[in-house]
């Protein structure tokens, strides 16, 4: 196994594992902020207790996010030092800015959320909840800026083989930053709110803390429904952006081998990269053209427009993109069903729907990972699109054996953290909001 | 070109400030982590000790992440050389930090594996506390670099006398800082033990500093000609002496203040003998300096604006948070 392959595998595993936590944080902090607002302005004591319950879970999710995030900042230097040398002039700044603007804020005020309920005023506690919500999203802004610059680099010129910044705002607000940020944040809201709604559903099914569980269900389900519907628009906008700025990536998403007008949308198929055709394809004629250009005759570029050594792999991006869309459509159905139940004030009574919420908790995580895999594999063979090849981005002085060694250690340690983290979160969930509130006022456990 | 040079020097200073901030803030919780099995004798004392750092350790660690990010952004060539060159050593630091980050939260909520997470907390604090000094000692004394700025040594190249002595110095200073923090935040037998440990550790740190001085004399004789280094060295001894005096009078706040100024003076010494190098090469012509390792003037300028806007805010709300949690730690206080 080559050092490039091992370094990619390691980055994929470590970033993929890390990417379970920040989306949860995005959604959970929003639900917590709404609950704290209900407590502060409507004097809803139940909202406060439910919020304390979620804060305990957030605390565990957050430290797992921190722990697994550290390795990514190391990784660019450890395994990808040629990348760091070539594009460090642009890529380092957003990582540093994330620390300065977002990560300090998030960590410091999360300390107050977890430890400070009785040490600060209710208004200050609400402000802490707001700042944790705000900072976790601001953190996302900088990370998406860095990642989007790899997809659609802008605001730089090449000098002696190195990228040099020419315009900070062009680099930061490159053609994909805004739409990718919205898409990722909505994915996070769907993830965190469905986790919270699923927990509420479980409490109701077990007939525990019913009033609080119903409050949590209504709050979280509302966020979930709104975010799932908005995601349809953001996903569409993102697809149009990819078609315009990374056409070969869209061609891979859709397994479109030939450039054509009236391009079909492939509902199902098995891409065969060797023979450049899709087996067992089920297609809707003209649909892809319509989706990206609002006209069934729009010309869409196929893979044959690009040199073979600049084409992304097709199978993974195709499968990831389609399965993500399938899940997104499922979330919309759930959102509509949940919305109808909420409007009729029947949401806590439909045991079938409550069970669906509970068992659907893992699905947004799957959708996030699939979308991310499609986006990053679809960027290949480039580390930075049309600027730096992935094969040229790895550290020159790190032997494959070292990467393999650290990969094995990552696997062992992350498995341990995952197993312990899941059992701890389940334990906290099982305690229920009454117990969480009790330990909150007595202190400690 | 002149503005560019000014920016490079400012960023040499600012990366130093971030790393010094990290040592002062995360330093005490690293120290608490290593001292944990020696200071706390029962479950109540263990929880008390953990609670002294519970609300703040995470924000403290951000100083390291931001310092690392700033090094990447301002001096990408130095970041790339060190992180790829010191691969295995940094992996040990990384895995320590990962396990340490989850250990306290997991210990509180996973009673069946309490011992495992305590072990992760202690080991995850000890290894970085030792290895930071070793890494710093290496970039100061010089490592083999090739013409492409790449590290040309191996893992064992890193284990030479000066870096090892620096590792010892860093470890003892972290432990001293952790013990003065514990004395400040606790009372009763735990506080007494912390004060006693602090006195011993002040003496150990003094010895380690003297050994470091000898190592610098032998391996980096040129450093002895730098006047600012002597001034900072005097401040190191002054901080140590004042910390010891404060400990004898049981003025814990003052002792913590001087174990903090100790770190600032140590970083001052490092900056004075190391500037303008970032990574000294065995062949001085190949050294990575503020000039050949830096980002473009525009990037440094943008980063400076980010730092000038952001860091005063960080300082302001960090002080606020410490005030929220000021005073002795109680066990009936919310949290772990």
Q: Identify all chain B residues contacting A166, using CB atoms and an 8 Å cutoff.
A: 298
* Among the listed residues A301, A312, A276, A303, the one whose alpha carbon sits nearest the alpha carbon of residue A386: A312
Question: Phi and psi (nearest 5°) for B265?
Answer: -70, -40
Name the 3-class secondary structure at B180. helix
Q: What is the mean pLDDT of chain B?
A: 93
* Among the listed residues A283, A276, A233, A238, the one whose alpha carbon sits nearest the alpha carbon of residue A258: A276
Model confidence at B331: pLDDT above 80: no
Q: How many CB atoms lie under 10 A from the CB of residue A345?
A: 10
Residue of B nearest to A124 (CA): B324
* CA distance linking residue A395 with residue A414, whole number of Å: 23
* CA distance linking residue A238 with residue A375, whole number of Å: 11
Q: Cβ contact (<8 Å) for A92 and B318?
A: no
Q: What ipTM goes with this model?
A: 0.90
Q: Cβ contact (<8 Å) for A119 and B325?
A: yes
Q: Which residues contact A257 (CB under 8 A, 6 or more apart)?
A: A251, A276, A277, A278, A302, A303, A304
For the stretch B117-134, pLDDT in tens is 999 999 999 999 999 999
Contact of A173 with A160, CB cutoff 8 Å: no
Residue of B nearest to A116 (CA): B334
Q: Cβ contact (<8 Å) for B109 and A111?
A: no
pTM: 0.93
- Supply the pLDDT for residue B333: 58
* CA distance linking residue A154 with residue A160, whole number of Å: 18
> Can you state the angle between helices B57-74 and A104-115, rounded to 10 degrees?
170
Residue of A nearest to B73 (CA): A92
* CA distance linking residue B94 with residue B88, whole number of Å: 10
* CA distance linking residue A61 with residue A136, whole number of Å: 12
Residue A400 is encoded by which pair of tokens? 């494959």
Contact of A318 with A272, CB cutoff 8 Å: no
Confidence of residue B336 (pLDDT cuts 50, 70, 90): low
For the stretch B269-327, pLDDT in tens is 999 999 999 999 999 999 999 999 999 999 999 999 999 999 999 999 999 988 888 88
User: A399-423 burial string, b = 16+ CB within 10 Å, else e?
Assistant: ebebbeebbeebeebbebbeebbee
Confidence of residue B253 (pLDDT cuts 50, 70, 90): very high
* Among the listed residues A429, A356, A425, A436, the one whose alpha carbon sits nearest the alpha carbon of residue A65: A425
* From A331-335, B225-229, B262-266, B329-333, the region with the lowest mean pLDDT: B329-333
How far does B101 lie from chain A, in Å, by closest CA?
5
Residue of A nearest to B78 (CA): A85
The conformation of residue B1, written as its DSSP 8-state character, comes to: -
Q: Which residues contact A255 (CB under 8 A, 6 or more apart)?
A: A266, A269, A271, A278, A281, A314, A318
For the stretch A343-387, pLDDT in tens is 998 888 899 999 999 999 999 999 999 999 999 999 999 999 999
- Supply the pLDDT for residue B326: 84
Percent of chain B with pLDDT over 90: 85
- Best residue of A70, A82, A424, A442 to probe chain B, by most B CBs closer than 10 Å: A70
* CA distance linking residue B332 with residue B336, whole number of Å: 10
Q: Cβ contact (<8 Å) for A107 and B73?
A: no
* CA distance linking residue B331 with residue B44, whole number of Å: 8
**Which residues on adjacent β-strands are paired with residue A159?**
A162
Where do the H-state alpha helices sit in A116-176? 122-151, 168-172
The residue whose two tokens read 């002696």 is A160
Q: Identify all chain A residues contacting B85, using CB atoms and an 8 Å cutoff.
A: 397
For the stretch B156-203, pLDDT in tens is 999 999 999 999 999 999 999 999 999 999 999 999 999 999 999 999
Residue A286 is encoded by which pair of tokens? 């003209």
Confidence of residue B55 (pLDDT cuts 50, 70, 90): confident
* Among the listed residues A137, A165, A89, A164, the one whose alpha carbon sits nearest the alpha carbon of residue B80: A89
- Supply the pLDDT for residue A22: 97
B157 lies within 8 A of chain A by CB: no
Residue in A100, A107, A444 closest to B336 by CB: A444
Percent of chain B with pLDDT over 70: 98
Where do the H-state alpha helices sit in chain B? 2-39, 43-53, 57-74, 76-85, 87-109, 114-141, 161-185, 189-219, 227-248, 252-274, 297-324
- Supply the pLDDT for residue A444: 39
- Supply the pLDDT for residue A439: 57
Model confidence at B234: pLDDT above 80: yes
Q: In chain A, which stretches have pLDDT less than 70? A: 436-445
Residue B27 is encoded by which pair of tokens? 């330093």
Question: Phi and psi (nearest 5°) for A165?
Answer: -65, 130
B55 lies within 8 A of chain A by CB: yes
For the stretch B11-42, pLDDT in tens is 999 999 999 999 999 999 999 999 999 999 99
Contact of A103 with B66, CB cutoff 8 Å: yes
The residue whose two tokens read 């117990």 is A435
Residue B61 is encoded by which pair of tokens? 């660690």
B4 lies within 8 A of chain A by CB: no
Question: Measured on CA atoms in the order A214, A217, A223, A228, is the torsion positive or negative?
Answer: negative
B102 lies within 8 A of chain A by CB: yes
Q: Cβ contact (<8 Å) for B87 and A398?
A: yes
User: If you write DSSP's letter for every residue of A417-445 in order, what string do you get?
Assistant: HHHHHHHHHHHHHHHHHHHHHHHHHH---
Where do the H-state alpha helices sit in A43-121? 45-78, 81-97, 104-115
- Supply the pLDDT for residue A445: 34
């Amino acid at each position: 196994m080559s050092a490039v392959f091992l370094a990619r595998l390691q980055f994929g595993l470590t970033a993929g594992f890390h990417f379970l936590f920040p989306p949860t944080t995005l959604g959970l902090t929003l639900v917590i902020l709404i609950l704290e607002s209900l407590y502060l302005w409507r004097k809803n004591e139940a909202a406060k207790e439910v919020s304390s319950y979620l804060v305990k879970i957030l605390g565990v999710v957050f430290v797992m996010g921190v722990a697994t995030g550290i390795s990514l900042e190391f990784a660019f230097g450890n395994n990808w030092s040629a990348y760091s040398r070539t594009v460090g002039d642009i890529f380092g700044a957003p990582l540093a800015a994330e620390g300065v603007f977002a990560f300090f804020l998030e960590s410091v005020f999360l300390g107050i959320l977890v430890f400070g309920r009785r040490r600060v005023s209710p208004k200050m506690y609400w402000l802490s909840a707001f700042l944790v919500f705000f900072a976790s999203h601001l953190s996302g802004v900088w990370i998406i800026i860095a990642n989007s610059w790899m997809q659609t680099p802008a605001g730089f010129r090449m000098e002696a083989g190195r990228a040099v910044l020419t315009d900070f705002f062009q680099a930061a607000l490159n053609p994909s930053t805004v739409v990718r940020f919205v898409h990722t944040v909505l994915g996070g809201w769907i993830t965190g709110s469905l986790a919270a709604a699923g927990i509420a559903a479980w409490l109701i099914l077990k007939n525990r803390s019913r009033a609080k569980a119903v409050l949590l269900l209504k709050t979280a389900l509302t966020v979930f429904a709104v975010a799932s519907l908005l995601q349809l628009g953001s996903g569409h906008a993102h697809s149009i952006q990819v078609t315009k700025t990374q056409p070969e990536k869209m061609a891979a998403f859709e397994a479109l081998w030939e450039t054509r007008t009236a391009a079909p949308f492939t509902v199902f198929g098995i891409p065969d990269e060797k023979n450049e055709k899709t087996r067992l394809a089920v297609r809707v004629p003209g649909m892809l053209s319509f989706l990206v250009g609002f006209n069934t005759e729009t010309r869409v570029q196929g893979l044959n427009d690009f040199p073979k050594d600049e084409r992304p792999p097709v199978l993974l991006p195709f499968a990831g993109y389609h399965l993500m869309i399938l899940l997104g459509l499922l979330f919309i159905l759930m959102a509509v069903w949940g919305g109808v139940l909420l409007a009729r004030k029947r949401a806590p009574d439909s045991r079938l729907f409550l069970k669906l919420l509970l068992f659907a908790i893992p699905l947004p995580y799957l959708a996030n990972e699939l979308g991310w895999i499609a986006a990053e594999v679809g960027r290949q063979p480039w580390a930075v699109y049309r600027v730096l090849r992935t094969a040229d981005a790895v550290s020159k002085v790190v032997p494959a054996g070292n990467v393999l060694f650290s990969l094995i250690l990552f696997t062992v340690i992350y498995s341990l953290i995952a197993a312990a983290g899941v059992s701890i979160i389940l334990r906290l969930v099982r305690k229920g909001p009454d117990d969480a509130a009790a330990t909150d006022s007595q202190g400690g456990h | 070109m002149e503005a560019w040079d000014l920016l490079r020097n400012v960023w040499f200073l600012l990366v130093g400030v971030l790393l010094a901030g990290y040592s002062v803030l995360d330093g005490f919780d690293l120290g608490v982590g290593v001292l944990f099995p020696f200071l706390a004798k029962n479950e109540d004392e263990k929880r008390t000790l953990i609670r002294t750092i519970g609300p703040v350790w995470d924000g403290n660690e951000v100083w390291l992440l931001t310092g690392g990010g700033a090094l990447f952004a301002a001096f990408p060539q130095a970041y790339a050389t060190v992180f790829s060159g010191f691969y295995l050593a940094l992996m040990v630091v990384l895995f320590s930090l990962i396990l340490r980050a989850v250990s306290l939260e997991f210990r509180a909520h996973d009673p069946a594996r309490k011992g495992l997470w305590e072990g992760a907390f202690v080991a995850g604090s000890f290894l970085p506390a030792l290895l930071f000094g070793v890494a710093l000692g290496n970039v100061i004394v010089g490592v083999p670099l090739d013409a492409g700025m790449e590290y040309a040594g191996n893992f064992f190249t890193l284990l030479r006398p000066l870096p090892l002595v620096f590792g010892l110095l860093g470890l003892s200073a972290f432990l001293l800082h952790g013990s003065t923090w514990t004395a400040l935040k606790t009372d009763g037998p735990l506080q007494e033990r912390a004060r006693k440990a602090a006195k011993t550790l002040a003496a150990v740190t003094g010895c380690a500093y003297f050994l470091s001085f000898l190592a610098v004399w032998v391996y980096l004789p040129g450093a002895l000609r730098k006047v600012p280094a002597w001034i900072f060295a005097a401040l190191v001894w002054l901080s140590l002496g004042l910390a010891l005096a404060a400990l004898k009078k049981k003025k814990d706040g003052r002792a913590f203040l001087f174990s903090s100024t100790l770190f600032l003076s140590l970083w001052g010494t490092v900056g004075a003998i190391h500037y303008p190098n970032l990574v000294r090469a065995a062949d001085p012509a190949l050294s990575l300096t503020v000039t050949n390792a830096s980002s473009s003037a525009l990037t440094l300028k943008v980063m400076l604006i980010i730092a000038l806007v952001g860091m005063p805010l960080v300082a302001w709300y960090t002080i606020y948070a410490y005030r929220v949690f000021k005073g002795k730690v109680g066990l009936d206080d919310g949290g772990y």
